[in-house]
């Protein structure tokens, strides 16, 4: 008989209960039970034969996952709720048909392509440090743009004590007071582009993510969303190296 058991935190992530890290926290807090017994970190479960509960609620595996892309406007935070009452991206995707969660982040002042899903494994795959799916941003900056500036932005800078992967930088348009740059990232550290520009002593005026892998904002107006088709999901998964 084939052993179909998988780690408990992976199963909870697959069921869109929580990310693997959060699932481990729930297990450590004693909130997860398997067949009526309090689970421990490292436990494995059989999705077909074991009963898993979180806080007393039975977990049922999703047969269908939802994957969408949203053209996030500026002024919205990338969370599903906010205790301060600020506008959240959840307000824009209420009619998706499932409770989806953001994959990665775009800060409140940024806009552009944001993925959301109820597939915890997919979200974990796309945000893992080994994920090399390129993300393209158009960045309007203010300040002097010299060859040295571009060389600096393209170099493996150190941000928050960690060296980042080199970023591909191209000038799309020059202005008397700055430029619009196209920046291609292969990782997504918190506020990475803004911190890079701080190091280069230029100011970010506007930041927009225009593409993730082969996905672009083409035809999607600000504030709108659409489902990804199965091939688009497959392509994203294949792009993770």
Q: What does the pLDDT average to over 146-155?
A: 95
State residue 1's pLDDT score. Answer: 36
- Per-residue pLDDT band for 2 (boundaries 50, 70, 90) equals very low
In the set 4, 107, 119, 198, the catalytic residue is 107
Question: In angstroms, what CA-CA distances link 102 with 70, 79, 128, 187, 234?
Answer: 10, 7, 14, 16, 18
State residue 62's pLDDT score. Answer: 56
Tokens of 200: 């280069």
Q: Which of 43-57, 114-128, 212-226 has the highest mean pLDDT?
A: 212-226
Reported as type and span, the H/E element at residue 238 is helix 230-239
> What contacts 214, CB < 8 A, 6 or more positions away?
232, 235, 239
Strands (DSSP E) along 81-146, which ranges? 101-103, 111-117, 135-142
Q: What's 91's DSSP letter? A: G
pLDDT digits 0-9 by tens, 181-205? 999 998 878 899 999 999 999 999 9
Q: Is 107 a catalytic residue?
A: yes
State residue 39's pLDDT score. Answer: 94
State residue 145's pLDDT score. Answer: 95
Q: What does the pLDDT average to over 15-32?
A: 85
């Amino acid at each position: 008989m084939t052993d179909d058991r998988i780690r408990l935190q992976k199963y909870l992530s697959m069921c869109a209960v929580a990310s693997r890290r959060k699932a481990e926290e729930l297990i450590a807090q004693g909130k997860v039970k398997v067949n009526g017994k309090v689970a421990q970190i490292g436990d494995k479960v059989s999705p077909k034969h074991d009963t898993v509960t979180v806080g007393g609620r039975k977990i049922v595996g999703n047969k269908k996952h939802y994957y969408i892309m949203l053209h996030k406007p500026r002024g919205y935070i990338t969370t599903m709720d906010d205790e301060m009452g600020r506008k959240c991206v959840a307000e824009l995707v209420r009619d998706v048909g499932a409770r989806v969660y953001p994959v990665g982040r775009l800060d409140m002042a940024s806009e552009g392509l944001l993925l959301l899903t109820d597939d915890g494994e997919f979200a974990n795959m796309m945000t893992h440090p080994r994920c090399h799916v390129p993300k393209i941003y158009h960045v309007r900056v203010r300040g002097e743009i010299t060859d040295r500036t571009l060389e600096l932005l393209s170099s493996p800078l150190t941000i928050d004590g960690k060296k980042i992967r080199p970023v591909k930088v191209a000038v799309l348009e020059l202005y008397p007071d700055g430029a619009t740059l196209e920046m291609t990232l292969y990782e997504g550290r918190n506020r990475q582009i803004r911190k890079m520009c701080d190091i280069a002593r230029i100011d970010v005026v506007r930041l927009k993510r225009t593409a993730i892998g082969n996905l672009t904002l083409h035809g999607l107006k600000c504030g709108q969303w659409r489902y990804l088709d199965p091939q688009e999901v497959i392509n994203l998964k294949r792009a993770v190296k």
